Every structure is written in structure tokens, then in C-alpha cells.
Amino acid sequence: MPLQTMSDENLILVDERNRAVGTATKHAVHRDGLLHRAFSIFLVDSDGRLLLQRRHPRKYHSGGLWANSCCGHPRVHEPTLRGARRRLGEELGISAKLRFGFFARYRAELDNGMHENEFVYVYFGEMAGPVIPNADEIIDIDFLTPHEIARAIAREPHSFTYWLKYYFQAHATEIDKFAALSAGAHARS
């Protein structure tokens, strides 16, 4: 979906218990800081490195910043896991078996007058096949270990999205654990 029409997509509004309470356009949700459902994905290669993406500078918020492998929002009436798999194809041109890692809940003020207020399902998956980044979404990719990412965030925090910094601050143990498990699964297959 082209960038200009993605902001018109409806997102699922939720309450603090993650119960759906309505819908609103993606742009309105982020402009007004409405609590909504989202997902994030960390893909892990056989060396235990996480795939990072650098968001296209034209994105309506957080453009040009490094983020985890893939992020997005389930569509109305779309199960969250199905939305995550869909978005992997849209952003990275791949499919992967995903497993649930943890829930995250955060709020943040972003650039361009936008706000995040999300209840996030965080998934992990093993890299399978080459990545074909969508040039409208992503300008670069990289593979780094969780330790390398944490060091890079400490060195240059302004280069990373709020949510990636949040995950590494609040959920580093889970990220390390799932990265090691995914790398181990690669080794067994």
C-alpha cells in the first residue's frame, strides 16, 4: 500500500486491558495519541543477530531512524499474528514462522506532532531466505547482536526509534532469550 494511503487505514482502538473499543484512521490515532493495538517483530539470523531496518525518511513519523525488523498494526477484524505475517511481506518481502515473545505498553511523543500510545504484541522469528526491503518503507537494513544494538543505542540514541529503545530498556532479557532460542532453532534445522 503506498505511503500516502496507509495513513487512511483504520486501526483498532483498545482499552488498558487490550479490549477493542472502536477504530480510527492511522493518522488520527498517531496525531491524537489514541491507545491502539500494534505488533513488532524481531527476526533472528542463524548467528543470533537481529535484523534492523532504517525507516524511509518520508515516513510520517520517525523517518530515517533505525527500528526492529518490522512493525505495524492489525487491520480491523484481522488477527494480530496474521497482520504481523502480512506486514513482513509488505515491508521485507519475506515470510517467517513467528512466535509470541512478550507484550509491551508504552506512550511517547514523536516528531511531526505525532504520538505513540500502543499495546504491542512482540513476536520473534527465524530468518528464512533473502530480505527484499520495500523501498517505499525502508532505506537500509543491518544485522546486529542484541549486545551490539544496546551499545549502539547508548552511543547514538537519536538514531533509533522510541520503541526500539524502549524494548531494549524494558525487555532486554526477553530479547536476549528469544534471540538465543531462535539462533538455536536455526542450528537444529
Cβ neighbours of residue 158 closer than 8 Å, sequence gap 6 or more: none
| Residue 186 confidence (pLDDT) above 60 | no
Confidence class of residue 183 from pLDDT cuts 50, 70 and 90?
low
pLDDT at 18: 96
Q: When comparing pLDDT for 31 and 1, which is higher?
A: 31
Q: When comparing pLDDT for 71 and 188, which is higher?
A: 71
Q: For residue 70, indicate whether it is catalytic.
A: no
| Mean of pLDDT values over 63-71 | 96
How many Å apart are CA 133 and CA 108, to the nearest integer?
A: 27
CATH number of the structural domain spanning residue 70: 3.90.79.10
- Domain count along the chain: 1
| Residue 2 confidence (pLDDT) above 60 | no
Among 91, 116, 118, 126, the one annotated catalytic: 118
pLDDT at 40: 98
pLDDT at 8: 80
How many Å apart are CA 122 and CA 187, to the nearest integer?
A: 23
pLDDT at 83: 98
Would the pTM count as exceeding 0.75? yes
Q: When comparing pLDDT for 187 and 55, which is higher?
A: 55
Q: pLDDT digits over 110-151, tens only?
A: 888 889 999 999 999 999 889 999 999 999 999 999 999 999
Q: pLDDT digits over 69-114, tens only?
A: 999 999 999 999 999 999 999 999 999 999 999 999 999 988 888 8
Segments forming the whole domain that contains residue 152? 3-188
Query: What is the chain's mean pLDDT, rounded?
Result: 92
| Mean of pLDDT values over 59-73 | 94
pLDDT at 32: 95
